[in-house]
């Protein structure tokens, strides 16, 4: 029997204006979901809420069956270190280090060895020992994705992971992400502007007028 890894109930949040209201969703092991919507609609805010970084105004978020906003900060840190992987729009890589060194820092914290096959899948094995500052934007993005996947999280939150990539590289990245969740019975929560990318996920929603509208 599959396990529910993400469960959100009646989430609402606002800043100067309401972003979303009464949103509920759940993801079982091996499933993927994509949320699309215009800029400012609240997609990234919803991701940050699910990913332990932003407590909602109302509603609950459970990861692995645990109400995350009732946990102590050290318990949340352990989840982020070992069980949750977050791919941000910004790479957050150490420019003075090589790609390998950037991946190794995160992997050491999670106590995972470097997976050379993952580097091949992302087509960065030939540049992995170059300094981050010498890599193209697309190569840096793939290093940041390798850094996340190498620690073998069970939940992946991806905020526009293909937003700055050409279509061929974007397809490659999605191939790797979907292959990963299938092999590791993980889940993928993806925020994107790209409907082509979104349609590859099991579930496809649009965040509009404070609500999730199901497309697929």
Range of the domain at 151: 31-53+72-214
Which tens digit of pLDDT belongs to each residue from 30-53?
A: 999 999 998 888 999 999 999 999
Distances, alpha carbon 149 to alpha carbons 41, 65, 87, 113, in Å: 28, 22, 9, 11
Q: State the CB neighbour count (10 A cutoff) for residue 184.
A: 15
Coil, helix or strand at residue 27? strand
Q: Pick from 17, 26, 86: which is nearest to 52 by CA?
A: 86
User: What Rg value do the Cα atoms of the chain yield, rounded?
Assistant: 17
In-domain check, residue 188: yes
Q: What's the CATH code of the domain at 44?
A: 3.40.50.300
In-domain check, residue 1: no
User: In the structure, what pLDDT confidence band is assigned to residue 110 with cuts at 50, 70 and 90?
Assistant: low
In-domain check, residue 112: yes
pLDDT of residue 156 exceeding 80: yes
In-domain check, residue 36: yes
In-domain check, residue 60: no
Q: Where are the alpha helices (DSSP H) in 56-203?
A: 73-78, 99-110, 116-121, 137-150, 167-183, 195-198
Mean pLDDT of the region 142-167: 94
Q: Which sign does the torsion angle of CA 207, 208, 211, 213 carry?
A: negative
In-domain check, residue 111: yes
For residues 137 and 98, what is the distance between their CA atoms, to the nearest angstrom? 14
Highest mean pLDDT pick, 86-95, 109-118, 184-193:
184-193
For residues 216 and 45, what is the distance between their CA atoms, to the nearest angstrom? 22
In-domain check, residue 64: no
In-domain check, residue 104: yes
Mean pLDDT of the region 126-144: 95
Q: What total number of domains does the chain contain?
A: 1
Weakest-pLDDT range from 101-110, 112-121, 164-173: 101-110
Backbone angles phi, psi at 197, to 5 degrees: -65, -45
Distances, alpha carbon 201 to alpha carbons 29, 63, 114, 125, 168, in Å: 13, 20, 27, 27, 17
Coil, helix or strand at residue 112? coil
Q: Pick from 215, 153, 210, 214: which is nearest to 18 by CA?
A: 210
């Amino acid at each position: 029997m599959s396990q529910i890894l993400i469960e959100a109930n009646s989430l609402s949040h606002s800043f100067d204006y309401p972003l979303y209201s009464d949103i509920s969703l759940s993801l079982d092991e091996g499933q993927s979901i994509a949320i699309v919507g215009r800029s400012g609609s609240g997609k990234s805010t919803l991701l940050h809420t699910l990913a332990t970084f932003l407590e909602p105004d109302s509603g609950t978020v459970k990861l692995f069956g645990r109400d995350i906003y009732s946990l102590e900060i050290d318990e949340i840190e352990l989840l982020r270190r070992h069980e949750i992987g977050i791919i941000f729009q910004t790479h957050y890589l150490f420019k003075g280090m090589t790609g390998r060194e950037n991946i190794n820092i995160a992997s050491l914290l999670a106590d995972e060895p470097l997976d050379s096959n993952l580097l091949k899948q992302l087509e960065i094995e030939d540049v992995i020992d170059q300094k981050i500052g010498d890599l193209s934007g697309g190569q840096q993005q793939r290093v940041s994705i390798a850094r996340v996947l190498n620690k073998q999280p069970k939940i992946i939150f991806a905020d526009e992971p293909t937003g700055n990539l050409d279509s061929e590289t974007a397809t490659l990245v999605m191939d790797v992400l979907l292959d990963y969740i299938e092999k590791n019975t993980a889940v993928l929560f993806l925020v994107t502007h790209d409907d082509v990318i979104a349609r590859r996920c099991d579930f496809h929603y649009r965040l509009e007028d404070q609500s999730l509208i199901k497309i697929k």
